Structure 1
């Protein structure tokens, strides 16, 4: 009874579910953003109060990462910085064109954060793409670790695509910021009110498409090749004379 429970626990750790892989995105991104909209639109809190309270989780995660792991939690830190920038720009008032332009501050903050993470060799968008490529499969999880850990012959290509994925998103968000600022001061205010949303949606669509073709698609193929190579290695070891004599 006790032995089975132990084996079940080990299997659970070795076979992460889709939810396990998505947990960083849920805690570091979905929770603070969701909290902001619930507080602001659902409970009627002011923008400043909603931003402040929704910053609690990323702030705690950032401090906890620094204290326990001696490194910053990239996603939590980015959301915290975005909230602080939003708090700062929310104090701007008066000029309607300035109010429209300030919407680009969030995009530029995220974009710069992503580009910095690429420069530091820890591409931030990896956390976003990994769950959808691994899909909670333990074999793919192991292959992913080999690819990112540099122990595979495919590691160099994989890590290059990994950086490229984040690079595409960082550049796209900076471009969206520039488009908003230019539009705010060149397009009629009434037009820019709805055009800003169109620009954001178009940016997301283009970024998804380009990052998929240039990075996510090749990463998935490299991952599948690594899984196949790992399976072949295990089978070869199982059929080796040493393994067969051991079984005897």
Structure 2
């Protein structure tokens, strides 16, 4: 009896104060595993591009179907990665023109960028999956403050939600810009140059997303989250003091 109660207590505590791994696990499963397995199959195991894409699509496919059947909702990140892989699978049949092969790599960025922007339009910004763990840092008080801010219960909820959407918009636009630059470069820059320049475009897009997104959204959100956390702590202390005074 005592052991069961202790186990249940630990389980409830883990739910209320999840670890960093718990917060990042969905992001790792939906994005990290498919991308990592693709390069493992292709570069380390020597599989063809088609086979590597097919095998790396297994996890996002299972995650997408599981979310639809079990949770009755769409898994945005897993579904997006699956869609990107399917588009890439179709494009592997396009060959012969080296410039076209370079340009088609931009389809991945454009698909992800469009998916992120659509998620903002639907009211569920996709980049929040990676943003929330970074800001909350597995802190129960910050987790509660985040919930109040995103649910509309806090005074600065509207401003907080605007910054949350802005962060995803920045990343969506950065990836779309990278796609346009890659396609233009594929047909205007020498092929040998474009082979390494494509990587520069990707790194540049990531840098822009981090720099602009950090200044435009992350820093203001950190301040609002800190203020809301302190406000919640003060309310809790006042509630605990009132019965004692009575």
SS of 2:123's equivalent in the other structure is: coil
Query: CA contact under 8 A between 1:237 and 1:243: conserved in structure 2?
Result: no
Query: CA contact under 8 A between 1:238 and 1:244: conserved in structure 2?
Result: no
Give the corresponding residue for 1:146.
148
TM-score of the pair, normalised by structure 2: 0.96
TM-score of the pair, normalised by structure 1: 0.95
Give the corresponding residue for 1:210.
212
TM-superposed deviation, 1:244: 3.8
Give the corresponding residue for 2:106.
104
Asked whether 1:93 is paired with 2:95, we answer yes
**1:85-142: CA deviation from partner (whole Å, max 9, x where unpaired):** 1111111101111111111000000000000000001000000111111111111111
Give the corresponding residue for 2:128.
126
Query: CA contact under 8 A between 1:169 and 1:207: conserved in structure 2?
Result: yes
Give the corresponding residue for 2:68.
66
Asked whether 1:52 is paired with 2:54, we answer yes
Gaps of 5+ in 1: none
Asked whether 1:236 is paired with 2:219, we answer no
State how far apart, in whole Å, the 1-side matches of 2:109 and 2:161 are: 25
Give the corresponding residue for 2:17.
15
**Matched residue pairs, number?**
244
SS of 1:44's equivalent in the other structure is: coil
State how far apart, in whole Å, the 2-side matches of 1:189 and 1:4 are: 64
Q: Name whichever of 158-167 and 37-46 sits farther off.
A: 37-46
**1:57-112: CA deviation from partner (whole Å, max 9, x where unpaired):** 11111111111222110000010011011111111101111111111000000000
Of 133, 157, 160, which aligns to 2:162?
Answer: 160
Query: CA contact under 8 A between 1:25 and 1:128: conserved in structure 2?
Result: yes
Query: CA contact under 8 A between 1:183 and 1:192: conserved in structure 2?
Result: yes
